[in-house]
Amino acid sequence: MLGISRKVVLETAKYYIVAALLLIPLPLAGDYVTHVAILVMLYTITAASLDILVGYTGRLSLGHAAFFAVGAYTSTLLAMNLGVSPWIGIFAGGIMASIFGLILGIPSLKLRGPYLAIATLGFGVVVWLMLINLDWLTRGPLGIPGIPPLPSIGPIDFRNKVSFYYVALLFTVISIFLLHLLTKSRAGRIFVAIREDEDAALSIGVDVPLFKVYAFLVATFFAGISGGLYAHYLRYISPEISTLSESIYMLSMTIIGGFGTLIGPVMGAIVLSLLQELLRSYLEYRYLIYGLLIVLVMRFFPKGIYGIIELFLEKAGGGK
């Protein structure tokens, strides 16, 4: 894929196969754990996809939840109005999210730093307002209940949490594996070059606008996929999933996990989701806690959780 050697593909694949195998027995821990694990996995896809944009290409986005929502609504509406199978709808949701990604990505090509952040924030709000106000299509703030589940395959019924868990696991492992390959590919290194210095990248022949749009397409596609899975799992969606606070939640995962590392945001998604479960009784304070965590991480561990783990591994390795 895009100039990446077979050796790298196989080496990377090994880790993902091991991770997937290790996660197979998890549903034995009960329904609640399975449920949390599914949501965590969907968030890991979103946080990792956001990292392509924020961490690798250096394009701050405060509107990622909007693309998650576009994916969720697209798949839902296709299934409920046109009877499209959710198996196809999920991918259609990813593509629709990418189209929205283009709508935001192309006009914001020249924006940098805080201006880009404001544009993406504004776009997220626009999507949220559309979901609320197009009530003939989206039922507005009421949301859409009774979304069809993933159609069963033979005797496997995906209304069952355990069955869905394996679907989510498969999607998560494949998505993050593909994103991982992207970061190791030629395109991935060009993304980093753009992040480090746009003008220098231009001067050595990088078609900077093209690659920025490419990063937007990829990041929004996977957010859309994850949104589609979410819709057919919870079987209820509302405009709440596209709010600014959701976008900030996703960005917190990416930053606290360690942006520009891909695996960091995955860890960020796990830690923050578990934190949210643990702090359920203090829910109104959660943004306060995330804010504090972001400040502390940026100040002391700019590479986030990933950086902390790396530091420990180095120390452990140095002791030998």
Partner 1 sequence: MNILEVKGVTKTFGGLVAVNNVSFEVSKGEIFGIIGPNGAGKTTLFNVISGFYRPDKGRIFFDGKEITGQKPHKLAKLGLTRTWQIVKPFLGMKVLDNVLVSIYATKGIVTGMSEEEAIRRAEEILDFVGLLHRKDLLAEALPHGERKRLEIARALATDPKLLMLDEPAGGLTPTEMDEVMDVARRVRESGITVIVIEHNMRVIMNICERIMVLNFGRKIAEGTPEEISTNEEVIKAYLGERFYVKGR
Name every residue whose Cβ is closer than 8 Å to that of residue 266 and which is 6 or more positions away in sequence. 44, 47, 48, 176, 257
Segment contacting partner 1 by CB under 8 A, of 107-115, 145-153, 165-173, 197-205 = 197-205
Q: Determine if residue 2 is left, alpha or beta; phi over 0 gives left, psi from -120 to 50 gives alpha, anything else beta.
A: left
Segment contacting partner 1 by CB under 8 A, of 25-33, 198-206, 236-244, 247-255 = 198-206
Please, which residue, 58 or 63, has the CB nearer to partner 1?
A: 58
Please, which residue, 89 or 260, has the CB nearer to partner 1?
A: 260
In the set 208, 213, 271, 294, which binds partner 1 (CB under 8 A)? 208
Q: Are the CB atoms for 236 and 242 separated by under 8 Å?
A: no
- The residue count for binding partner 1 (CB under 8 A) is 25
- CA–CA separation, 117 vs 124, rounded Å? 11
- CA–CA separation, 103 vs 301, rounded Å? 35
Name every residue whose Cβ is closer than 8 Å to that of residue 18 and which is 6 or more positions away in sequence. none
In the set 9, 80, 192, 289, which binds partner 1 (CB under 8 A)? 192
In the set 21, 204, 278, 283, which binds partner 1 (CB under 8 A)? 204
Please, which residue, 88 or 210, has the CB nearer to partner 1?
A: 210
Please, which residue, 125 or 208, has the CB nearer to partner 1?
A: 208
In the complex, the smallest distance separating the C-beta of residue 209 from partner 1, rounded to whole angstroms, is 9
DSSP string across 257-299: H-TTSSHHHHHHHHHHHHHHHHTGGGGGGHHHHHHHHHHHHHH
Half-sphere exposure of 68 (CA within 13 A, CB side): 33
Interaction of residue 11 with partner 1, rule CB under 8 A: no
Round to the nearest angstrom and report the end-to-end CA distance of the chain.
38
Interaction of residue 29 with partner 1, rule CB under 8 A: no
In the set 201, 248, 262, 297, which binds partner 1 (CB under 8 A)? 201
Q: Which of 236, 262, 207, 237 is nearest to 51 (CA)?
A: 262
In the complex, the smallest distance separating the C-beta of residue 190 from partner 1, rounded to whole angstroms, is 6
In the set 83, 154, 205, 317, which binds partner 1 (CB under 8 A)? 205
Please, which residue, 107 or 302, has the CB nearer to partner 1?
A: 302
Q: How is residue 234 written in tokens?
A: 């919870």
In the set 203, 284, 300, 317, which binds partner 1 (CB under 8 A)? 203
Interaction of residue 39 with partner 1, rule CB under 8 A: no
Q: Are the CB atoms for 240 and 73 separated by under 8 Å?
A: no
Interaction of residue 9 with partner 1, rule CB under 8 A: no
Residues 213-272 that bind partner 1 (CB under 8 A): 260
Residue numbers at the binding site for partner 1 (CB under 8 A): 2-5, 185-187, 189-190, 192-193, 195-197, 199-208, 260
